[in-house]
Structure 1
Amino acid sequence: MKKSIEEIQKEIISEFSDLTDWEEKFQYLIELGEELPAYPEEKRTESYLVPGCQSRVWVCPSLENGELQFYADSDTALTKGLIAILIRVFSGHSPKEIANASLEFIDAIGLSKFLSISRRNGLSSMVNMLQNFAKNSGSEI
């Protein structure tokens, strides 16, 4: 059975609670980013760039069978890990679920506390872009 956005967030919170310090947490985020599938070169265009990010982050949505799938890449390892964790939470859910999702895990694992202001702003921009894709993806909302 498919996991809800809330269940996925709980899994992430649990995974991060096992890590003892921020060096381990950042390393884990980097590892998550390394697991992203290859991003198509033809989608590395301005129209797929996340605005408001210090790093370059590309996100491409795809609506498949009423569910959004997201593909992404970044030019920095930590940012790639941040987008990877957001994709894990959102991909495979309906636009309505994504648009209405509340992301408690960001505070629960300490990202809003331990990321620099510019990275927090970038993370917020990524969340906004993913949820805007959901809001603009059709009649389900």
Structure 2
Amino acid sequence: MTTTIDTIRDDFAFLDEWEDRYRYVIELGEALPPFPDSARIDTNKVQGCVSQVWLVTHRGDGTDPVIRFQGDSDAHIVRGLVAIMLALFSDRQASEILGTDAEATLRTLGLNEHLSPQRANGLRSMVKRIKRDAEAALHQPA
């Protein structure tokens, strides 16, 4: 996926109607690279999501490694939310991931006001998982 979080912010600002924004979120999910069936296993599932969400963490080398995430969901809108989280966190150093305020980003997009409580909880669960993996990368040698 080559869409950056800055591009997503700009696109959200351009779209006035929430129906258009929802369609855009779904399109972001459709643009995710194919997720391998072999990675759809329990250890990759994000706990706390109503929909099924899988997240794979690829850790680089070093004391503050770059981490790349790969994700998918069985629900269209949630798949788009996965794409937004990947744009926010993937291909960044572990320390940068830990310092990123996902809640603030979601507020700038207005998503916190337009997601159901279940989806918002699922998104928080995804952020927790991403930050947990970044924390582990900083404190456990590869």
Common fold: TM-score over 0.5 = yes
User: What is the number of equivalent residue pairs in this alignment?
Assistant: 134
Q: CA deviation at 1:10?
A: 4.1
Partner of 2:8: 12
Partner of 1:67: 66
Once the two structures are superposed, residues 92-134 of structure 1 have per-residue CA deviations (whole angstroms, 9 ceiling, x without a partner) of 1011110121122201111110101111111111111111111
Where structure 1 has 5 or more consecutive residues not aligned to the other structure, the ranges are: 1-7
Where structure 2 has 5 or more consecutive residues not aligned to the other structure, the ranges are: none
State the Cα RMSD in Å: 1.7
Once the two structures are superposed, residues 57-77 of structure 1 have per-residue CA deviations (whole angstroms, 9 ceiling, x without a partner) of 000000135210000110000
Shift >4 Å, 4+ stretches = none
Q: CA deviation at 1:23?
A: 0.6
Once the two structures are superposed, the pairs formed by residues 1-141 of structure 1 within 5 Å of their partners are 8-65=4-61, 66-103=65-102, 104-139=104-139
Identity of aligned residues (%): 34
TM-score (norm 2): 0.88
TM-score (norm 1): 0.88
